Structure 1
Amino acid sequence: MTAQISVAEQGHRCPECGADVPVESRFVTWCDACDWNVDPGAPAPDPRRIEALRRRLAQRYGERLFADLGPRPGRDVAGVLACALALVVHGVTAALAVTGLLLVVLGWGMGVLPVVGAVLLAIAVALRPRFGVLPDDTPVLRRPDAPRLFELVDEVAAVAGTAGVDTVVIAADANAAVSTYGVRHRRMLRIGLGLWEILTPPQRVALIGHELGHFAHGDTRRGAVVGRALDSLALWLYFLTPDSETDLMQRVTHWMMAVPRWAVLGLLHLLDQLTLRATQRAEYLADETAARAGSSVAAAELLDRLLLVPSVTSALHRESVVAHSRGGAAARREAEQRLWERLAARIESVPEREYKRLRRVSTLRGHCADSTHPPTHLRRRRVSEGTQWQAAVRCDEERAGAIAAELTAARDHMAHVVIRDAAADQ
C-alpha cells in the first residue's frame, strides 16, 4: 500500500524506472515497463510435501510438453509401469481381505487367529478403493431436468469424439470437473456456478469441451485402475500419519509407522512421476478440444477467467459477509436473489490491464490451476498461438437463456447455501 501511495504522490510514475503508471483504485498499481509491484501478494510455499512436489513436477513436465507435445504415444513404458504399480496397490488390499477371510474361516477355534483375521478384514474394508458417488448436498440434474443443457453437452461431446454425461452436478465454487460414479462408471459433469456465471456462452462451450476432453484423450489418472490406486495410496498415507504426538504412546506409534509411511509416500511419489506426463498431455489436448468446440478465442478467454478464481472466491465470501452483517432475513434474501448477477458484473468490470498483470504473475509463479495441470500461461500460449479454430458448437442468446431457465432452481439453492454457510462461519 505504501508503494502505491508513493506512486500517486510522484505523479503516477514508477519508482523503479520512472515510466508512467496508470492507477486504478480497485486493482494493483504496477509498472508494465519494468514489472515493479506486479506480484505484491506472492504466496508462501505450500507446506504440504506432496502438493508442493506435485506442483514442481507439473511445471517441469508442462514446460517440456509445451516445447514438444508430439503425437500421442501408444503404450509407453511409464504407462505400463503405472498400471503394474497400481495393480500391486490393489493387490495388497485384496491380499489383506483374502488373508483375513481365510483366518476367520479356517482358524476358527484356534486361539487369536480369527481375531487377527477380523482385524485384517476391517483394514481391507477401510483401505478398499472407493467408487465415486453422487453428492447428496448439491443439486443433481438429469436429462429430463435440463434437456437444453444436456443437448449442448451432447453436441460438445460429439466434437470431442466421446459420449455425453449421465448427470450434471451444480456446485457453488469457481471450478468444473468430470468424473465417474458407481460400479458402472456413469459419467458426471460438475459445474461450479462461481465459474459458470462469469463466463460468456462461447466460454461455457469451451469449458464443457475442456472437461469432456478428459474423457476423449485418455487421462490416466481418471482411469479405474490408476486413479483408484492414487486414491488408495492417499488414504493409506492418511491412516499412517498421526494427528499429533502429545504423549509417549503416540510418539511410539509414530515411530512404528515411520517405515510403512515412508514406503507409501515413496509409492505415491513414484506413481505421480509415472502418470503426470500423461496427465499434462491430456490437459493440453483438452484445451485443444475446448478451442475446437467453443473457438480458440473463447478457450483463451476461459483460461484468463481461471486467473480470476481467487477473486471470485473472495467476492462470494464478501457478498455473504455483507449480507449477514446487515442483519435480518430480508437482507439475506436480497443478497441471494442478486448474488450471481453481482458476481458476473464485478468480474465483467475487470479491465484488460488487470488480465495483463495476472498473465505476467502466472508466468512468474508458474501458476497452475492445481498440482496436475500445466502452467496456465503455457496453456494459453498453446491455444493462442496454435491452430485457430472457429466454434463448432454455437450457443446463441436464445439457447443460453433456455439453459439459464433450466438452472434457475439450482442457482437459487446454491445462492442460499453461499449466504448461509458464510453466515455460519461468523
Structure 2
Amino acid sequence: MSAAEEQTVRPCPECGAEIRADRRFTTWCAACDWNLEPDGRDEEKGRLQRLRHRLAQQYGEGLLADLSTSDERQRTGRTTAGVLAYAIALTVHAVTAALVVGGLWLLIVGRGGFLMVAGILLLALAWPLRPRLNRLPSDARVLSRDAAPELYALIDEIAGALGTQSVDVVVVDARANASVTLLGLRRRLLTLGLPLWEVLTPQERIALLGHELGHFTNGDTRHGAVVGTAYKSLTTWHYFLAPIERPTITEAFINVVYLLPRWLITGLLTLLELLTSRDSQRSEYLADAAAARAASTEAAVGLMDRLLVTGSITTTLYREVNGRRMRRSGRVTAEDAQGVWEALADHMDSIPESEYERRRRVGERHGHSVDGTHPPTHLRRGLLLGATPVPALVTADAERVGRIGAELGDTREALARKVVTDGVNA
C-alpha cells in the first residue's frame, strides 16, 4: 500500500478539529495535542543516565541564552569547570601512578618477603585502573584513504572549511549514529553509522560530517584523553567496589568496608559529571554551528529533524530484516540482503511532516535529546533557526555523490548482509 493510500481524515475526539493522518504513524491532533504521546514517555534507567538527562534539561535553556547572545570568540575557550575537571582527572591518574610506584618499591625492598606480596597486589590493582586509550576494534570495518579517496577528500574539505585537522581513519558500522574520537593520543577516528548516512540528503551528510569534526574545534572536556581516561578509571573503581548481592557474613563485612571508598568514588563520578556536563552540551551546540557553516543552516536543521526520528530507522530495519528472514528458512544469501538500504531510505523519505511536528512537541514537553549527554533537540534546533542563516561552505554535486556512493558500495552490501544475517543490534 502506498503512502497516499495510508492517509486518513477524521475529527478529533477531544476538540472536533479535522485530523489528517497517516495510518503508519501516531494519529494525533495538532489543535489540542490529543494523543500526542499514546505510549507515555520513556524513562531512562540508571542513576547516572537520570542525572545526565536532568542536567541536559537544566543547562539547556541557559546555554541557549548564552550562546544566542555571545559572539564566536566568546563561545570558545576552556571554562572554569573544565579546568577543575582536568585537576580531578590528573588526581585520579596520580593515584594510579602512586599504586604503580608503591608496588614497584615494595617489590624492590621486599626481597622475597611479605612486602613483595603487597607490591604484587598493588600492581595488580593498578593494572585495570591504568589510563586506557582508545584502540581500533579488531572487527572494525575500516575504509582506507586508498579505498575511499573521494569520501576522505570531502572530509578534508569540510575540516579545512572549519579550520581543524581532518581524520586519520574512517570506520563504517550498522548503527544509526556517527561519532568522532581519538585513537591513541593523536590519531582521529570518524565512525559513520550507515543506517543514518543512507537516510540523509547529500547536504545533510555534509552537516553530519561538519558536526562531528566540529567536536575537535571546541574543547569537549569529557571526551578528551585526560578526563576521558580518568572517567573510565573511576568507573572501573566503582565496578570493583560494587556491593555483593545476597552476601554471606564475610561478604557483608566486605560490603561495609567498601562503603566509604564506594561513596568517595560515586561522589567523584558525580562531580565529574557535573563539571563536564555543561561543557559537553556546550560542545554539542557549537558542533551544530559548525554543521551549519559547513553545509548551510537549512541542511543542519534538516539533520536535526532526522535525528528526531532515528527510532524509525531501527524499527524499519527490524521490519526489513524479519521480512527477509521469513522468505527462507535456510542460510541468508546476498540476494536476501538486496534493497535493505533503499527500503530504509524510502520509508524515511515518506515520513509526513505531521510526525516530525509531533516529535518536536513531545521533545519540547519532555526535553527529548539524542541521549543523556546532548542538549534537548528542540533547543539545538531553535538555536540554529534563531541565528542568521548561513550558506554552505562545502557542497557535493551529483557526480561527487555518485563517486562516494561507489566507494561505499562493497561496504553497503557487506553490512546489509550482516544486518540480515545477525540482526539489527549485531
Within-5 A mapping of 1:187-206: 187-206=188-207
Match of 1:85 among 75, 83, 88: 88
SS of 1:37's partner is coil
- Structure 1 pair 26–271 and aligned structure 2 pair: CA distance change class (3 A): same
Distance 2:92 2:409 in 1: 44
Shift of 1:76: 3.3
| Equivalent position SS for 1:347 | helix
Separation (CA, whole Å) in 1 of partners of 2:45 and 2:134: 28
Partners of 2:248 and 2:316 in 1: CA distance: 43
| Separation in 1, partners of 2:78, 2:378 | 29
Letter aligned with residue 39 of structure 1? E
Structure 1 range deviating more: 299-308 or 100-109: 100-109
1:345-360 equivalence runs, <5 A: 345-360=346-361
Matches within 5 A, 1:183-262: 184-242=185-243, 244-245=245-246, 247-262=248-263
Q: Counterparts of 2:39 and 2:248 in 1: how far apart (Å)?
A: 39
The 3 A distance-change label for structure 1 pair 255 and 318 is farther
**SS state of the match for residue 207, structure 2?**
helix
- Give the CA deviation at 1:350: 0.5
Q: Work out which of the residue numbers 48, 51, 63 in structure 2 matches 1:50.
A: 48
Deviations 1:218-275 (A, max 9, x none): 1111211112112221222122225733644444433332222221111011111111
Kept in 1, the 8 Å contact 2:129–2:236? The answer is yes
Query: SS state of the match for residue 68, structure 1?
Result: helix
Residue identity in the other structure for 1:43: R
Q: Which residue of 2 aligns with 1:132?
A: 134
Distance in 2 of aligned mates of 1:394 and 1:145: 22
Which residue matches 1:313?
A: 314
Gaps in structure 2 of 5+ consecutive residues: 1-7
Aligned residue in 2 for 1:63: 61
Deviation at 1:72, TM superposition (A): 2.6
Query: After the TM superposition, which of the residue ranges 156-165 and 228-237 deviates more from structure 2?
Result: 228-237
Give the letter for the 1:67 counterpart.
A
**CA deviation after TM superposition for structure 1 residue 315, in Å:** 1.6
Residue 16 of structure 1: aligned partner: 14
In 1, Cα distance between the equivalents of 2:80 and 2:202?
A: 41
SS of structure 1 residue aligned to 2:390:
coil
Contact 2:173 2:415 in 1 (8 A): yes
1:141 aligns to what?
A: 143
Aligned-partner residue type, residue 219 of structure 1: D
The 1:146/1:207 distance shift into structure 2, 3 A limit, reads: same
Partner amino acid, structure 1, of 2:282: R
| Aligned residue in 2 for 1:4 | none
**Is residue 155 of structure 2 the alignment partner of residue 157 of structure 1?**
no
Distance 1:37 1:20, change over 3 A: same
Q: What runs of 5+ residues in structure 1 fail to find an aligned partner? A: 1-7
Per the TM alignment, residue 309 of structure 1 is displaced from its structure 2 partner at its CA by 1.2
Q: How many residues align?
A: 414
Task: Name the CA distance, whole Å, in 2 between partners of 1:422 and 1:155.
Answer: 35
SS of residue matched to 2:20: coil
Contact in 1 for aligned 2:332/2:421 (Cα 8 Å):
no
CA-CA distance at 1:419 after TM superposition: 1.4
Conserved? CA contact 2:37–2:362, under 8 Å: yes
Paired letter, 1:132: N
TM-score normalized by structure 2?
A: 0.93
Contact between 1:82 and 1:271, CA under 8 Å: does it hold in 2? yes
> What is the percentage of aligned positions where both structures have the same residue?
50
1:291-310 map, 5 Å = 291-310=292-311
Contact 2:77/2:218 (8 A) holds in 1: no
Q: Does the Cα contact within 8 Å between 1:319 and 1:335 map onto a contact in 2?
A: no
The separation in 2 between residues aligned to 1:409 and 1:76, in whole angstroms, is: 44
TM-score (norm 1): 0.93
